[in-house]
Amino acid sequence: MKNILFALICFVYTLNIRAQESHVLENKDLKARVHLNDAALIGLESKSTGWNVISTATYGQSFEINVKLSDGAFHVVNGKSQNKPEIKINKDELIFVWDGIKVGSSVVDIVFEGRIKITDRGLIYDGVLKNNSDAVVEQLSWPFIGEVSIPEKTDQLLFQYMNYTKFNTNELYPGYSGRGWSNLPEHSFTLIHNRKQGLYLSSEDVKFEEYIRCEYETLPTTGFSSMAGEAGSKKNNGERNQMKIQVKVARMLYLQPKLEVVFMPVVLTPYSGDWHKGADIYKKWRKTWYVAPHRPEWVKKVNAWQQLQINSSESNINFKIKDLNQYVDECVKYGVDAIQLTGWTRGGQDRGLPSHDLDPRLGTVDEFKRVIADANKKGIKILLFTKFTWVDMTADLYPDWASHVAWNNQGDTCRHPGYNYNTYTQLLGINTRRFGIFCMMDKDLRIKLHAAFQKCLDLGAPGMVYDENQHHAGTMLCFNPNHGHQIPGFVYKGADLLGREFMAMCKQSNPDFLMVGEGPYDIQSQYYSTYTRADYNHEPVLRYIDSDIPIACAVTDHYDKNQINMCLANQYAISYESRNFKGHLWEFPRVIAYGKQVDDLRKKYSDYLWEAEFKDTIGAVVSGKDLKYTVFARKTDGKKAVVVYNTNTKEENHAEISIVGSGLRQVIFSPEKQTPVAFGGTVVIAPQSAIVVIEK
């Protein structure tokens, strides 16, 4: 008994010591505990759910810094190994200053001032780093979350981030994901969640000032070793429960000697609810900076597209410019509004870039202008497929553009392996047209790209689809010293500048010119509309964030009504792409007939299904097998519409549909039966079919 009493006294004493050595930052949503000796985040608790993200204080971490010394030696330095920092404690903020960083046996003249602040948005990490040394500070992880514990009653813990209009998903638990990351601000925000609650992370950076890699890693704990290899070691996730997840918010600095960097604020906050609640945090912040671009009227109304390849990099000349009229007439016949024309540039799709001259084998520029103008008269918009991201290393023009190619930190030219078309040799990768990856921070490059873009504007087309605007094939930073940017340059920042410069050019040439990108990241949606490819299982995050962004989505298969229904449910324009966008609309008559029915319905009820606020699954309860559904709220009065579709391709299914809190009369209709009839709460939905219920 004496022993127990003694142990208890010791425990309480230890708690007191800990309480004195740490500082609590809290708001209505979270309570964070920071160790004052080393700035380690040793507690991060959700007040609404009780989830302590860092369940074990000893797992707490402060920062990690990667330093390359002038002799070439590389060191990863953990913040906890450093001398105690100088501390300033304000009401809602802690400021830690490490004046000199211990690297191996020496101290390097690096001053890191790390700030942790609590605001109503969450816990904010920022600061300043002064590199007075000859070393290069490659990376700083701040914050460094030493543990992301598994909340109680978790079936699955996910790491998700927005990419290409939807979520990229990595399973952290019970699966084993090893290591992975999201990029900020490219991916807007990152959620780590179990569908009932989660942790939101984002950098409050709308101009690509800083490249941040939000990186998770799954590591073994001491318990793992003693379990791995037993027959029952994986039962009930046994082995997995003996691993821990840590998350580093790694600021990819490559800060050169004698330079200083001010960090962008990184916010982290727990939330309660599914991913929509996490996205709501982003939506709220987005309202403070987002400016929607001017868009032409036609794209604000229900519209449909066709994508069509005229030529490929292997010179598969599908048709000539003069033949485009025939496709335009087919669009008129089938109720399609726009053609995304790929491969019209010199050499065909993905060759000859960044030239945006018409391939002379296809026809003349005058001929092309005439066809575009004629199509316009018929109400069909020719959207020019463009690409300004690469230079074709096999093209004659390469020497003129080579100096604008990005370099990696080894001084190597950044290359892309090129794309594969038509011939089996190219499909295998033997003779792809390799690309040099442009550094868009190079102002001289952007000026040359303006000239290329002007050629598109001069053709009189009503818009373009800038393919691969949303990535740089993994080249995030450029180390080429001849581009006029600080080393390194953040290539995405250059792409953002280019987009804004293009927008200014449109204002001059044709304010109604529609700039569309391929799955742009959200910051780009201030100037680019969206073309995407998705299946019905995706989470429509971009649409949830913004109900007004025009999004067109590919439909490729002969009778894939589910794909059409997904477009209906997510307010996507249908982009018909028969024979992988080499074919005619008449090649898949069934799907186009159904698509037309859906678009007719959307036109009829556009206030409910097109110009309404998209709520995804919020606001209705739908039950039944193999069903997907979304909810819209009419902007004028908030009346709801629910789109429900049966994804089963063979069997009809019974749906029970309830609009939350609705006391209004409800009616139901479908693409095939567009006359509304009273709805009593249940309906049988045929295979691959959709219905719409609205509040009257």
Partner 1 sequence: MNRLIFLWTALSVSLSINAREALILENNLLKAEFDVKNGSLIQLVNKATGWKIVDRASLGQSFELLVPLSDTDIRFNVVKGIEQKPPVIEKQTGGIVFNWSGLSAKDMKEVADITFKGIVCLTENGLEYSGEVINNSPYPVEYVAWPFLGEVSIPDKNQPFYHSTRSDAKELFPHFSNEHGYWGVDYPTSTSHLPEHAFASVHNREQGFIVYGKGNFPTNLIINSFELIPGFELRNTNPYSDEMDGQAVRIQFKSNQVIYNQSGEKTILNPVHLALYKGSLYSGITLFKKAKSVSVFNSPEWIQDPLTWQNISINNGNELINYAKEGVKFGVDVLLVRGWYRESNGNLQEVPGMKEAIDECHKTGIRVVLATNWTAANKRLTIYKQELNQYLMLDPFGISYNNSFLCPLSKRVQEKVIEEWSALQSLRLADGVINADNNHSDKSYLCFAHNHDHRYGEPTVNGTMDTDVSMAEIIRGYGKESKVVLGFGFMDMQNLMYDGYQISSSAPQFSKHRCLNPATPILSTVDVRNARRDINFALLNRFNISYELQFQRNHLEDYPHITAYGRNVKSFRNQYGDYIWDAECIGPVENLVEGNDLSHAMYISKKNGKKSVVVVNTSTNQSSFVTLKTNAPHNFVYASPENPAMQPYHGSLEVQPQSVILFLER
Which residues of this protein are in contact with partner 1, per CB under 8 A? 176, 219-220, 224-236, 239, 309, 312, 314-317, 342, 349-350, 361, 393-394, 410, 412, 417, 419-434, 535, 556-560, 562-563, 577-583, 587-590, 649
Q: Buried (b) or exposed (e) across 169-185, using 16+ Cβ within 10 A?
A: bbebbbeebeeebbbbb
CB of 46 to partner 1, least distance (A): 29
The nearer residue to partner 1, 224 or 290, going by C-beta atoms, is 224
For 635, residues 6+ apart whose C-beta sits below 8 A from its C-beta are 607, 611, 612, 613
The two beta strands, 463-466 and 381-386, are parallel
For 517, residues 6+ apart whose C-beta sits below 8 A from its C-beta are 465, 466, 469, 470, 499, 524, 528, 529, 530, 531
How far is residue 343 CA from its own chain's centroid? 26
C-alpha span between 381 and 373 (Å, rounded):
9
CB of 316 to partner 1, least distance (A): 4
What's the angle, vertex CA 204, arms to CA 198 and CA 205, rounded to 5? 135
Q: What are phi and psi of 542, to 5 degrees?
A: -60, -45
The nearer residue to partner 1, 182 or 318, going by C-beta atoms, is 318
**Among 489, 444, 443, 476, CA closest to 256:** 489
C-alpha span between 153 and 175 (Å, rounded):
16
- C-alpha gyration radius of the chain: 28
**Among 256, 297, 317, CA closest to 379:** 297
Residue 677: left if φ>0, alpha if ψ -120 to 50, beta else—which one? beta
CB of 230 to partner 1, least distance (A): 5
Residue with tokens 């759910």: 49
Q: Classify residue 14 as exposed, middle or buried by CB count within 10 Å of its CB (0-12, 13-18, 19+).
A: exposed
CB of 420 to partner 1, least distance (A): 5
CB of 403 to partner 1, least distance (A): 17
Which DSSP symbol is given to 553?
E
CB of 430 to partner 1, least distance (A): 6
The nearer residue to partner 1, 411 or 661, going by C-beta atoms, is 411
The nearer residue to partner 1, 115 or 561, going by C-beta atoms, is 561
CB of 239 to partner 1, least distance (A): 7
The nearer residue to partner 1, 133 or 556, going by C-beta atoms, is 556
- Is there a cis peptide before residue 589, judged by omega within 30 degrees of 0? no
CB of 431 to partner 1, least distance (A): 5
CB of 224 to partner 1, least distance (A): 8
Question: How many other CB atoms sit within 10 Å of the CB of residue 423?
Answer: 15
CB of 319 to partner 1, least distance (A): 13
CB of 159 to partner 1, least distance (A): 18
Cα dist from 224 to 216, 232, 677, whole Å: 19, 13, 61
CB of 318 to partner 1, least distance (A): 9
What are the helix (H) ranges across 311-468? 324-334, 365-377, 398-401, 424-428, 443-458
CB of 428 to partner 1, least distance (A): 6
Q: What are phi and psi of 127, to 5 degrees?
A: 150, -165
The nearer residue to partner 1, 171 or 656, going by C-beta atoms, is 171
The nearer residue to partner 1, 407 or 421, going by C-beta atoms, is 421
The nearer residue to partner 1, 429 or 511, going by C-beta atoms, is 429
Which DSSP symbol is given to 316?
-
The nearer residue to partner 1, 562 or 666, going by C-beta atoms, is 562
The nearer residue to partner 1, 282 or 327, going by C-beta atoms, is 327
The nearer residue to partner 1, 525 or 647, going by C-beta atoms, is 647
The nearer residue to partner 1, 316 or 662, going by C-beta atoms, is 316
The nearer residue to partner 1, 18 or 590, going by C-beta atoms, is 590
Q: What are phi and psi of 338, to 5 degrees?
A: -145, 150
- Strand stretches in 567-652, DSSP E: 573-576, 613-616, 620-623, 627-633, 640-646
The nearer residue to partner 1, 348 or 494, going by C-beta atoms, is 348
The nearer residue to partner 1, 300 or 558, going by C-beta atoms, is 558
The nearer residue to partner 1, 179 or 378, going by C-beta atoms, is 179
C-alpha span between 591 and 593 (Å, rounded):
5
Tokens of 250: 């790694």
Cα dist from 190 to 82, 83, 330, 496, 665, whole Å: 30, 32, 43, 21, 40
Identity (one letter) of the amino acid at 660? Answer: V
CB of 232 to partner 1, least distance (A): 6
Residue pair 353/302 in contact by the 8 Å Cβ criterion = no
What are the helix (H) ranges across 226-296? 238-241, 275-286
CB of 309 to partner 1, least distance (A): 7
Residue pair 692/669 in contact by the 8 Å Cβ criterion = yes
Using DSSP's 3-state secondary structure scheme, residue 11 falls into helix
CB of 64 to partner 1, least distance (A): 16
The nearer residue to partner 1, 178 or 257, going by C-beta atoms, is 178
Task: Give CA torsion, residues 414, 419, 420, 421, to 10 deg.
Answer: -140
- What is the rounded end-to-end Cα distance, in angstroms, of the chain? 73
CB of 410 to partner 1, least distance (A): 8
